[in-house]
Chain A
Amino acid sequence: MAKSNGWKEAIFITTQHVSLVQLAQHGDEQAFYQLIEQEQHKLYRMAYVYVQNENDAVEVFQQTIIRAYEGLPQLKEPHYFSTWLTRIIINVCKTYIAKKNTVQLVEPHTLEDFTSTTPTYIEEELDLWHSLCKLEEKYKTVLLLRFYQDYSVKDIAAILQYPEGTVKTNIRRGLQALRQHLKGAYIDEWVQSVERGH
């Protein structure tokens, strides 16, 4: 598609998305699964960052989908489907971790599991992964939303129901914490460039 048609495509995608949400809200399961299919890999990976192993991430993913399906009729603005879904998965992750912690302390990170399934992983990325896992949950959440899901500060504030100022502060502190874990080197260039943007 030619570049000048990009905006038309964008509008088409948006309206298509909204009508899918509306269909799903009226009980069209096919539409619901089409919506989920578009988001499922991102949702699963978000969950994985929180729980850090496959079985728990699958569980969180499935709980999220079920909760979304049950709660869909209550969603007032179809435009907000994606942000609404993101809010659900964050809440499910938090509850899931809290419940798990009441029985057993989760090991900080099952690094072996991760490396064994991804042999191509390079060392520096592993460092970044490790640091990301160790971040405090509030920093982890904003960094995921800002730099993985590409939400704006305004959207993140709406999802988490925090003031925008708090979101900005947490993003900044999250990035600082990442840099500290990584002791400068590798992602410095990236962090500096995104810090300048904030």
Chain B
Amino acid sequence: MNGFNPLKEVIDAIPIPKGRLTEVLRVEGMSKVFQQKHHTVQALKNIHCTIYQGEMVAIMGTSGSGKSTLLNMISAIDEPTEGALFLFGEEAHDIYQEPNASKFRKENIGFIFQSFHLLKDLSVEDNIALPLILNDLPSKDIKVRVQHMMEKLNIAAWAKHRPSELSGGQKQRVAIARAVIANPPILLADEPTGALDVNTTDEILELLVDLQKNMNQTILLVTHDPYVATYANRVLFFHDGAIVDSYQNQQTAEDLDCILAKFKLITRGDL
């Protein structure tokens, strides 16, 4: 065939979305055994999973299924008995001892929790600025970025207020702003809507989807709520320390039923 091929040229001109085809996080053969006096507990059993850039993945499981243990391994809080963690294709070595562990978390992971964990003596803007202060950014840059983030998340009016003066949804917005302000490759959200009412839950989940779609933020969402899991691209089901099933959301009304059905099957109706 001769060299001229307009079809190829046209297709090759489709821009590759920056970073979105890249794997951000990979967990390989990860196991965790807790040794206790008279018995051992295997909290994780040979976990394999890969998270891509710009993806929102939900981890679902009942308490004791191993999901929190996995989060602890990913965020270098606890060391796995076996297995490895890869970040952007590179094995993350020696991240389980201090000071490496803190450095790893500071550079790579933003956290949000069910109970917000905001510092009560700091104003909203100071709470959000914390990760940048820890990263030694010049105070002028910090101010600009915090202001921008507060506007984006619709909390600028509360800049000088203390967390105690805010509603649950507003507190979680502040926590999200703080989690993503230093542009961490991964946002770990541990039951982020666990303490919120139904409407605020939707609002916060939509905010997460917005971060994912428009800022290409990779999000790992831990939940036991099938409804929350429908907001993710993909759901991994945990049971008894292992990933036992997965589901790719189709963004249709059937997602909730499918997730619920799988979850019920795994937990044998024991919701």
Residues of A within 8 A of B (CB): 29, 33, 40-41, 44-46, 48-49, 54-55, 57-59, 61-63, 65-66, 69, 96, 99, 102-103, 114, 117-118, 120-121, 125, 128-129, 132, 143-144, 147-148, 150, 186-187, 189-190, 193-194, 197
Known contacts A33-B23, A99-B252; A45/B6 CB under 8 A? no
Residues of B within 8 A of A (CB): 1-2, 4-17, 20-21, 23, 26, 28, 48, 50, 52, 54-55, 89, 213, 233-234, 246, 248, 250-253
> Dominant SS at the A interface?
helix
Q: Is the CB of B11 within 8 A of A58?
A: no
A178: nearest chain-B partner, CB-CB: B7
Known contacts A147-B5, A194-B1; A45/B252 CB under 8 A? no
Minimum distance in angstroms from A168 CB to a CB of chain B? 16
Those 4 A-B pairs whose CB atoms lie nearest each other, nearest first: A147-B7, A45-B14, A99-B250, A48-B14
A143: nearest chain-B partner, CB-CB: B7
B residues near A190, Cβ cutoff 8 Å: 4-7
Minimum distance in angstroms from B22 CB to a CB of chain A? 9
A66 to B23, CA, bound (A): 12
Q: Is the CB of B252 within 8 A of A103?
A: yes
6 contacts between A and B (CB under 8 A): A118-B14, A125-B6, A132-B7, A150-B1, A187-B6, A194-B1
A residues near B4, Cβ cutoff 8 Å: 189-190, 193
A34: nearest chain-B partner, CB-CB: B89
Other-chain residue from A41, A46, A186, A189 in contact with B16 (beta carbon distance below 8 A): A41
Q: Is the CB of A186 within 8 A of B6?
A: yes
Q: Is the CB of A132 within 8 A of B252?
A: no
A124: nearest chain-B partner, CB-CB: B6
A56 to B240, CA, bound (A): 33
Other-chain residue from A54, A65, A148 in contact with B8 (beta carbon distance below 8 A): A148
A residues near B252, Cβ cutoff 8 Å: 99, 102-103
Minimum distance in angstroms from B10 CB to a CB of chain A? 5
Given contacts A41-B21, A62-B55, A118-B14, 9 further A-B contacts (CB under 8 A): A29-B26, A29-B50, A62-B52, A103-B253, A128-B6, A143-B7, A187-B7, A189-B4, A190-B6
Q: Is the CB of B12 within 8 A of A45?
A: yes
Minimum distance in angstroms from A98 CB to a CB of chain B? 10
Q: Which of B11, B15, B17, B20 has the most CB of A within 10 A?
A: B11
Minimum distance in angstroms from B19 CB to a CB of chain A? 10
Q: Which of A46, A120, A147, A150 has the most CB of B within 10 A?
A: A147
A55 to B210, CA, bound (A): 12
Other-chain residue from A49, A54, A66, A187 in contact with B11 (beta carbon distance below 8 A): A49
A residues near B5, Cβ cutoff 8 Å: 147, 190
A70: nearest chain-B partner, CB-CB: B246
Q: Is the CB of B15 within 8 A of A118?
A: yes
Q: Is the CB of A61 within 8 A of B21?
A: yes
Other-chain residue from A54, A65, A125, A147 in contact with B13 (beta carbon distance below 8 A): A125
Minimum distance in angstroms from B116 CB to a CB of chain A? 30
